[in-house]
Structure 1
Amino acid sequence: MTIDKIIDTIYPLPEISREKLKQHISEVSFPKGFCLMEVNKVVPYIYFLKKGIARAYASTENNDITFWFGTEGEPIVSMKSYVEGKPGYESIELLEDCELYQLEISKLRILFNEDIHIANWGRKFAERELIRTEELIISRQYKTALERYKDLMKYKPYLLQRVQLGHIASYLGMSQVSLSRIRAEMK
């Protein structure tokens, strides 16, 4: 996905503002398995997935709990680092070889002060991430495992072809055995 399309998906910018923003965006590539962000570390960048897939997770004593998947066009950000400049809660692992767009947060903050359109773009970016987080929390609190699986099949069926079932089960808040049972019942 092109950076222009990603920018417009968040909030369309006038051409001069778009070009100003794009001057600070570079392309980077990392291999499958690379840890793009580590828990308890400040992440100085926002990334946007050009190609590939990533997952965000938190580790417990017994396992990793996946709570987010990102695919082409989506941002990868530690909101704690983005908003407060503090260490993030999550780790982010690349599940495929990935091509990303990288934007340094400190440079973006300078642009916020220089260009109201870019400042509004940043506000819209944060609002979208807040809504995604809210939807995840509501889903986890009020939907059954079966409903969460049906939502996944409806809105993100491609994850079933690209992501290990163990990560999907964790994301849905169930064991891999429960996920296998649900899948078998739906066939």
Structure 2
Amino acid sequence: MKGHLAEVTYPKGHLLIRADHIEPNLYFIKKGIARAFAYQGGEEVTFWFGREGDPVISMKSYIENQKGYESIELLEESVLYELKAVTLQKLFVEDLHLANWGRRFAEQELIKTEERLISRQFRSASERYQQLLRENPDLVQRVQLGHIASFLGITRGSLSRIRAEIR
């Protein structure tokens, strides 16, 4: 697979994936951080962060070859490995080990999505923030608090109050 990857560099603020477009590529973050967001009521709602080692993919584009609903923005200057989706699909047919890796990847992403949904439904904002600190402490250092508040489903003011209570 290594021969099919292209290393690319983009600046902070670059929209790697745009909503309402079919994205022909997927990426793996070598260096940097990204966020996925969608618009709701004219506001950006952040629902995912990715950093070193994470894949960046529009699942709707990849799986159904349809326009994705999310935009993915780079929050730091980033170095990524770019791979054409059609190339990956071809490699899955040719290599059973790679196909099994793809299946495991999809399973792990499903678990992460399920955990985010359960957290949003059953944990308080304070509990969600504390979980974020435990599991991803570097995010608070690398990501604007407005994006973190959006990810947690709260206002910046609420996040400030929670942070003050924790200190």
TM-score range for the pair, normalised by the shorter chain length: over 0.9
Q: What amino acid is aligned across from residue 126 of structure 1 in structure 2?
A: A
In the alignment, structure 1 residue 35 sits paired with structure 2 residue 15: yes
Q: Which residue of 1 aligns with 2:165?
A: 185
Give the TM-score taking structure 1 as reference length.
Answer: 0.87
Q: Secondary structure at the match of 1:29?
A: strand
Quick one: distance in 1 between partners of 2:42 and 2:65? Answer: 29
Q: Which residue of 2 aligns with 1:155?
A: 135
Quick one: distance in 2 between partners of 1:62 and 1:147? Answer: 27
Quick one: distance in 1 between partners of 2:118 and 2:20? Answer: 25
Map Cα deviations across residues 145-169 of structure 1 (whole Å, 9 max, x no partner): 0110000110111111111110000
Q: What amino acid is aligned across from residue 148 of structure 1 in structure 2?
A: R
Quick one: distance in 1 between partners of 2:160 and 2:61? Answer: 36
Q: Which residue of 2 aligns with 1:12?
A: none
Q: What amino acid is aligned across from residue 123 of structure 1 in structure 2?
A: R
Q: Which runs of 5+ in 2 are unaligned?
A: none
Task: Give the superposition deviation at 1:60.
Answer: 2.1
Map Cα deviations across residues 17-71 of structure 1 (whole Å, 9 max, x no partner): xxxx111111001000000001111111111100000000011233100001111
Quick one: distance in 2 between partners of 1:53 and 1:37? Answer: 14
Task: Give the superposition deviation at 1:88.
Answer: 1.0
Task: Give the superposition deviation at 1:111.
Answer: 1.0
Q: What amino acid is aligned across from residue 111 of structure 2 in structure 1?
A: I
Q: Which residue of 2 aligns with 1:58?
A: 38
Q: How does 1:23-102 map onto structure 2 within 5 Å?
A: 23-102=3-82
1:138 to 111, 118, 124: 118
Quick one: distance in 1 between partners of 2:47 and 2:35? Answer: 8
Q: Which residue of 2 aligns with 1:119?
A: 99
Q: What amino acid is aligned across from residue 72 of structure 2 in structure 1?
A: I
Higher strand share: 2
Give the TM-score taking structure 2 as reference length.
Answer: 0.97
Quick one: distance in 1 between partners of 2:57 and 2:79? Answer: 15
Quick one: distance in 1 between partners of 2:16 and 2:129? Answer: 27
Q: Once superposed, which parts of structure 1, at least 4 consecutive aligned residues long, lie more than 2 Å away?
A: none
Cα root mean square deviation, aligned: 0.9
